[in-house]
Amino acid sequence: MNNKIECIRKAKFPFKLWDLSVYAALIVAVVFLIVSLRSPKGGTLEIAYYDKQNMRQVREYDLNKDAEFDLFALSDIYGEGRLTVVVRGGEAWVEESGCHNQICVRMGRIGRVGQQIVCSPYRVVLRVTGAGDISEVII
Ligand SMILES: [Zn+2]
């Protein structure tokens, strides 16, 4: 034990490459968290999906107007699926979905620029857009 401590003390550079990569990952995670928490409230909900004719559609909804609607999306594997999307109080979420894993329902509410909800079984992406948005929808 003491021998190990002496080795570390005598080393010119006490950190190993693995230590530095862990610190770098922590710093990146903290910066990402701060940026995501400080991102402004979005004004538009953009929904990208494939319709019954397998045509990619992108619809935009005002996040400041309360609404609830059903979205019918087509998946190559799972066929046609229905998602119930709710927009209320500047936030949007998937209330109900026919997908098997329910991840889109459990992703919670989004309302800040850049936040997304993805339903991969039905190939649906809900994204908040607004000033300062630099991300792209890729599905
Ligand atoms: Zn889903």
Q: How remote is the CA of residue 124 from the centroid of ligand 1, in Å?
A: 8
User: Quick one: 21 and 65 in the same domain?
Assistant: no
* Residue 107 Ramachandran class (φ > 0 left, ψ -120 to 50 alpha, else beta): alpha
**Run of H or E including 32:** helix 17-38
User: Quick one: 112 and 56 in the same domain?
Assistant: yes
Number of domains in the chain: 2
User: Quick one: 69 and 15 in the same domain?
Assistant: no
* Predicted pLDDT at 133: 61
* Predicted pLDDT at 119: 95
pTM score above 0.85: no
Q: How remote is the CA of residue 95 from the centroid of ligand 1, in Å?
A: 10
Give me the tens of pLDDT residue by residue for the chain, a chain 139 residues long. 677 778 777 777 767 778 888 888 999 888 877 776 777 887 899 999 998 888 999 999 999 999 999 999 988 888 889 999 999 999 999 999 999 999 999 999 999 998 999 999 999 999 999 876 655 545 5
User: Quick one: 55 and 31 in the same domain?
Assistant: no
Structural tokens at position 103: 């991840």
Q: How remote is the CA of residue 104 from the centroid of ligand 1, in Å?
A: 4
Report the CATH number at residue 55.
Answer: 2.60.320.10
User: Quick one: 52 and 31 in the same domain?
Assistant: no
Q: How remote is the CA of residue 92 from the centroid of ligand 1, in Å?
A: 15
- CA–CA separation, 123 vs 110, rounded Å? 18
Q: How remote is the CA of residue 125 from the centroid of ligand 1, in Å?
A: 10
Q: Is residue 135 part of a domain?
A: no
Q: Is residue 77 part of a domain?
A: yes
Q: How remote is the CA of residue 137 from the centroid of ligand 1, in Å?
A: 17
State which residues form the domain around 22: 2-38
Q: Is residue 107 part of a domain?
A: yes
